Structure 1
């Protein structure tokens, strides 16, 4: 049994061990609605729903899904930005015992098609503006029904005609399977009673490249997700039920946005200020207008918010707590944001396979150590092990792989037993991240064992970008790395060896990638080279490319 030095650094109000609720995920919503039915649940461009409104929408969404044939354990895909109907679709699916498959609207149609097929989803709930994008691929999937949500239904009355007209243009496409209008169906749908899900039933299939770089879905159970909410609430002990306002700008289809932006907010009966995309000025104005108190985000977002608020002389001092993830929180960003807001800004760490939060720096009553990811949260055990065998515990300060054990660790990968066995061994999640532990229990991420690139909190896997670039007729071979960026964490850079006689411009390669990849996966920098560094057996040495890029940057 190894020591847990981090426990000595816990704030006095944080328990060393907590009791995890034995509850299904839907109970978070039902409990909040029962206790605080008159509290504001969502704010969407000024239009507000109370928790009594939200629970009714959830129950009627569940009733509608049952009526059209959704059964317990069926997968329901959701393709929407942060809007009220996303929350209704998410918890409505959970209410009937279904499994939610959140999809990223930024993905290419090929990527969406793969995830729909792989998950086996038979129901797709989609925002009206995204119907045109997804319609052509449905015939090649198992989807039996499409449910279209009109975002215009949730904005203030004076905005509805404009929003409806803009969205409707994208939804007038032919679809070969039944199509339902969600908001019309909810007027007459019966309110369903929650399905008595077992704690280890899958609640969410969340796609990630994970620790092995292959796109696959992490199976997050009801117990996993409720446990992570309980752990985070223990850490954020000073936040008060029904009195907090959360800026939900991190997308709900992302594990961090789902857990900290949505599930945590619901459990606290907080008001969720829903922002479908990150626009710095719009976000700053929303923070000011609605007196946001909790702002989960990524480093680039915090810097943009601080600069925008300062430039436009907008007061955002209502913000009390910010937990940063997705990329290292550098001191420059920390100092800038804190100077503008006076908020508590701390860095944390997590991964989709862990629901996602595993580490956070103390917010009150202990040291917030800049440059570290903080301490393991309650009921979370961590070790640093050798890279060769993954079994030998290393001493403080030594670099090794970070492995984690706790109630928030996924059940495994959907239909990927081999990858599951590689990633979870004897109950320990092997993160693929190289880290160190300080003698007093603070952890630091040193590097990634794999070559994953993190762009503004989104995972990008070199292989999938390289496969797209390789299809360009001018490309002989290529390699992709992450290039450090002060705000975004990393940006994608491609090194390309051209075919003989080919002379494309970098912007031509970038334009080609835009046709096949989500925008955050598209290389922002192209460098043409005569050859790529390789091992004796022909394996490309990405570390040499990263070293070269760093030298040029310096």
Structure 2
């Protein structure tokens, strides 16, 4: 520890509710043990519900045991990387825990990613086995990787077999053009037969908590994805922190809506793994559709909803969203991107359900801070306070990187048991991320005197206008106040005279119109001249990742103006 960096104060500890632990013991078990304990305790309780087909904890334990034995027969063992390229489904959950039980390391892949991205991450991770579904183009991409990477085997989950009858029959008819016929290739096998005749007792020794459980690639919305090494201890610690934080979550009684993708760190930890730790039921939806989501919440009496701002925005805009439809909810959490204050207020006013906001990143497994409105731990506009056992400090972005006082904007730095081991095969990036015992996140924020974190910007979103710093989020918050604006993203684009200028990409609410000059008049008393968008682009939609995060690097290319989707004007 650098002696010039004193231990930071922890004012947030005085705000913890009675009974909230200030720290947690270091996890001494694996994610497989997390599931094994839950299966033993809640054997007959529903675990997976997928389009009215239920699988109990006991049934899942048997399937995972057989699949783990099958993976072992394919050569999966200690340090074997297994790529999971799966949509949300029972197969995604079963394969995740089966790979870990076999002693392997999970490599999460986005099944909607482009072929080049998938091939690149399989190659970078050195995965030897991959799991996907029998839908094109997902299967085709993975099968093609057999001849371009180190892959030796491909395991295929048949979507129709995960559905109840008659949905399974309807699916085969409706999707027959997309269903892939498995080739006569010994390297390809169906998940259903993977461990059919294997010895379920043939599993690897229990992994050490410090061993790598998951290689999770960063989102890549602002830079090239890097493989984050998350250990069993990292992920178990983050789950334990969340379980302690949500004091009203009752073991053995909660139902989680699983619409966040499991292949993303937020969905993996705050939905799938947390549900297991609580003996909860995962009500799985393969994709997000507002009306279907609302009906599922109401019909299945979902109690915990974890989502991203785009999800909560879509729900509040849906005519079917009423307090009655969401009456079963107990805990709602938003993360993965900045939550606009107006959206939080609108959700609470519409539903009566408090909406917590958190801050995190893949490198932290991912949750670092969270508000807790159920316990009175909140402050509008903030991302809450650090979770038990976590330290957050704001440091100067320039050397000597000293700790800044409350209220000053600097780089968010984190210490805690959930912080990654490092980046896969990137020692220089790892050394750059860790300095003096702190993870330097690259994000900008500030702490108030009570320890509440206020997220300001991802570092790449700081726009340098004539040498002055413009924070994209501050401009976005101002633009969102206009009643015609449904969505907005602000990026910096090159300018020969100013270095960079702000560019606002806007999606309008249906039935509204807005001109660039009208927007600037509206913003005149809300932003400074250097913050005023020089370019305004009206779009039908914003490009987003599968996780709902705006892909800002796609918006910053070029400065062309787009027609207003409602008026046809070019701005």
Partner of 1:161: 169
With normalisation by structure 2, the TM-score equals 0.79
Partner of 1:131: 139
Partner of 1:437: 447
Q: Distance in 1 between matches of 2:113 and 2:409?
A: 35
Partner of 2:154: 146
Deviations 1:217-244, CA, capped at 9 Å, x for gaps: 0000010000000111110122111100
The change in CA–CA distance for 1:102 and 1:482 in structure 2 (over 3 A counts) is farther
Aligned pairs (5 A) from 1:271-420:
271-308=281-318, 310=320, 315-389=325-399, 391-420=401-430
1:183 paired with 2:220, answer no
Runs (5+) with no aligned partner, structure 2: 1-6, 463-471, 477-488, 495-499, 510-536, 562-570
Secondary structure, aligned partner of 1:141: coil
CA shift for structure 1 position 95: 0.2
Out of 22, 27, 32, the position equivalent to 2:38 is 32
The change in CA–CA distance for 1:340 and 1:402 in structure 2 (over 3 A counts) is same
The change in CA–CA distance for 1:404 and 1:116 in structure 2 (over 3 A counts) is same
Q: Distance in 1 between matches of 2:339 and 2:209?
A: 35
Q: Distance in 1 between matches of 2:413 and 2:64?
A: 37
Does the 8 A contact of 1:345 with 1:363 survive in 2?
A: yes
Secondary structure, aligned partner of 1:76: strand
The change in CA–CA distance for 1:289 and 1:32 in structure 2 (over 3 A counts) is same
1:43 paired with 2:49, answer yes
Deviations 1:284-341, CA, capped at 9 Å, x for gaps: 1110110000000011211212332646896221111111011221222112222232
Q: Distance in 1 between matches of 2:549 and 2:456?
A: 27
The number of residues matched between the two structures is: 491
Q: Distance in 2 between matches of 1:343 and 1:313?
A: 8
Structure in which a larger fraction of residues adopt helix? 1
Deviations 1:338-360, CA, capped at 9 Å, x for gaps: 22322221110100000000000
With normalisation by structure 1, the TM-score equals 0.82
CA shift for structure 1 position 529: 5.7
Aligned pairs (5 A) from 1:483-502:
483=505
The change in CA–CA distance for 1:380 and 1:167 in structure 2 (over 3 A counts) is farther
Q: Distance in 1 between matches of 2:269 and 2:335?
A: 13
1:243 paired with 2:269, answer no
CA shift for structure 1 position 526: 7.2
Partner of 1:171: 180
CA shift for structure 1 position 450: 2.3
Secondary structure, aligned partner of 2:21: coil
Q: Distance in 2 between matches of 1:429 and 1:218?
A: 13
Does the 8 A contact of 1:109 with 1:137 survive in 2?
A: no
Partner of 2:74: 68
RMSD of equivalent CA atoms: 3.4
Secondary structure, aligned partner of 2:460: coil
